[in-house]
Amino acid sequence: MASREAEAIHNRSVIVEAHRDVFEMVRLKNSGEKFPLLNATLPRLKKGGVTISIFAVCGDSVTHSKGTYRYLHAALENIDWLRQEAEASAGKIKIILSADDVPSEPSRDAVYFLLSFEGGKPLEGRLEHLRNFYWLGLRAMQITWNLRNELADGIREEETKGGLTRFGVSVVREMNRLGMLIDLAHISRTGFFHVLDIATGPVVCSHSNCRKLNLHPRTIDDDQIKALAGTGGVMGINAIATQVAAKEPTLDKLLDHISYIAEIVGVDHVGLGLDFVKDDGPLHPEDELFNTGENKLLPELENEEDLLNLTDRLVKRGFKADEITKILGGNFLRVLKEVLKSRGQ
């Protein structure tokens, strides 16, 4: 049972989930559901108090591309599906296109979606496609997913010590020019620092945890965390159980990651990525790169309906109210307002 203090903080905070995949929407749409976000996802987001969701509407995985290898085509179709839902939602689904669209207060009625790619394969090696997707509403992008793409090497290619390709360098520069959020989750360590050598302004790592606390391919080390914070950026904590701890993952161990980041770089650089997978459905077999056969659901934080448990645990851990508000979403709000352009710019 959450404390009244936790409930009050939770209800007055703008909660930002920095990473949500398109998988549930695609799965339900393919099964005949006309409005899967509106009817299935939004009720859970509202129950958890989420105001902003950074939504990976496509990416490098086969699951992102609807079980095909037609990444660009799948991205176009998924964006169209999302926009149709937004039109039919009577204002319950809003799409963030500019800094002016970023809400400063929690929303009772609407959830705001910021469109992202989880890897640059939908660009198909063409810079003009980045601009075309920007005009369609794309405002964030991970450089890679786990494997190699036209931009850089993912974490499954660490042995190459490869950074950005020349195309990847041009994409980072163009994202800065357009006012897009650059996301370093899943990229190789060399690529991580290569992006930071080129990028201007805050950069985020939307859903990763601390290597110091869990030696996993998807966690990042202290030097990466400090370099990210040095840009003014934010690291979003991941709630997938196997990425929280190698043995007996718990909500308290997830809090350890938050506390550790706050300790080494300050509370202004930690947020929530979470990457809830409970309702995603099965991934394409080629995408199960880290499947160990273990349960990926974290006890007490299986999906967005459990978010109050996290807020309550932050209170019990000794974080102050203003610090909790920053962790729940305030830090990502700051970065979004700094990176995105104002309307008309």
Would the pLDDT of 294 be above 80?
no
Q: List pLDDT tens digits, range 164-214.
A: 999 999 999 999 999 999 999 999 999 999 999 999 999 999 999 999 999
φ, ψ for residue 273, nearest 5 deg:
-100, -45
Q: List pLDDT tens digits, range 115-165.
A: 999 999 999 999 999 999 999 999 999 999 999 999 999 999 989 999 999
Length of the chain: 345
Dihedral class, residue 71 (left if φ above 0, else alpha if ψ from -120 to 50, else beta): alpha
Residue 296: per-residue pLDDT? 87
Residue 344: per-residue pLDDT? 79
Residue 295: per-residue pLDDT? 73
Residue 246: per-residue pLDDT? 93
The full set of domain ranges for the chain reads 4-286
Are 122 and 66 within 8 A, CB to CB? no
C-alpha to C-alpha distance for 8 and 161, rounded to whole angstroms = 47
C-alpha to C-alpha distance for 162 and 159, rounded to whole angstroms = 8
Q: List pLDDT tens digits, range 39-64.
A: 999 999 999 999 999 999 999 999 99
Contacts of 123 (CB under 8 A, 6+ apart): 72, 129, 130, 133, 150, 151, 171
C-alpha to C-alpha distance for 246 and 153, rounded to whole angstroms = 25
Percent of the chain with pLDDT over 70: 98
Mean pLDDT of 288-313: 87
176 vs 129, 190, 193, 195, 318, CA distance in Å? 15, 20, 16, 11, 37
Would the pLDDT of 293 be above 60?
no
Residue 106: per-residue pLDDT? 96
Homologous superfamily of the 4-286 domain (CATH): Metal-dependent hydrolases (3.20.20.140)
Mean pLDDT of 95-101: 98
